Amino acid sequence: MVRTRKPGGGDGDSGGGRKGGHGGVLSNTAEAQARAEAEVDALSVGRGNSGGRAISRAPKGPAAHRELLPPNMKRHDLNRITPKTHAQKSNSVVQPDVDMDADIEAIRRGEANWNPDKHEYEVNGRTYKVENTGSDSLRTYPTGGLGVHNLNQLEYRLLQSMIKNGGDTDAAWEQNRRNPNVTTERWNAALNAFSHHKSYKG
């Protein structure tokens, strides 16, 4: 159990096939057309306003078979976060037992599931996005899932305060309790993430 503390003190058309006009039986001409369309689909998405040039499919997303940079470990790896790490508006913190290297390698090999609606990968129960670095490489970063804690800016700073105090959460609380924005929910979100840190004392 992770110890909690309340502010103010105390612990506290899918699946449907093509049908002809004769009881669902395609004519010879329609069958030939269907075969031709299947062959085209196997090679390309289609032809648009690119002079007839075929546009290749990307079923595994933009990062498959690309050179990938790992997440910025000083921001995302719980045990490598320091009190000086920049706290952004939204932050994903990953527990030490998560093998992010294996996740990223699966994405590179094209083995992760690409979700085009969310523009992110799903692998080993976690989700990742990729961003262009301005070079030929893409940088990956975790967005949620097993072992990933999503913290807002204040929660991340509370986590940093716990780290700065070497696991002394009482001292961290004393330094932050007068902040009216430190609610029970925000404190516990930071504490839940910190409970997996190497300096956590229980």
> Is a pLDDT exceeding 80 seen at residue 9?
no
pTM above 0.75, yes or no: no
pLDDT band at 52 (very low <50, low <70, confident <90, very high): very low
Specify the pLDDT at position 132: 86
pLDDT in tens, 56-112: 344 588 898 888 999 999 999 999 999 999 999 999 999 999 999 999 999 999 999
pLDDT band at 48 (very low <50, low <70, confident <90, very high): very low
Q: What is the mean pLDDT of residues 127-138?
A: 86
> Is a pLDDT exceeding 50 seen at residue 29?
no
The residues spanned by each domain of the chain are 27-57, 68-194
Asked if 176 contacts 190 with a C-beta cutoff of 8 angstroms, the reply is: no
Which conformational region is residue 167 in: left (phi greater than 0), alpha (psi within -120 to 50 degrees), or beta?
left
Report CA Rg, the chain. 25
Specify the pLDDT at position 133: 77
Distances (CA, A) of 33 to 13, 38, 41, 190: 20, 9, 12, 60
Specify the pLDDT at position 26: 36
Beta strands in the chain (DSSP E): 68-69, 90-94, 113-115, 120-123, 126-132, 138-145, 148-152
User: Quick one: which of 137, 145, 65 has its CA closest to 105?
Assistant: 65
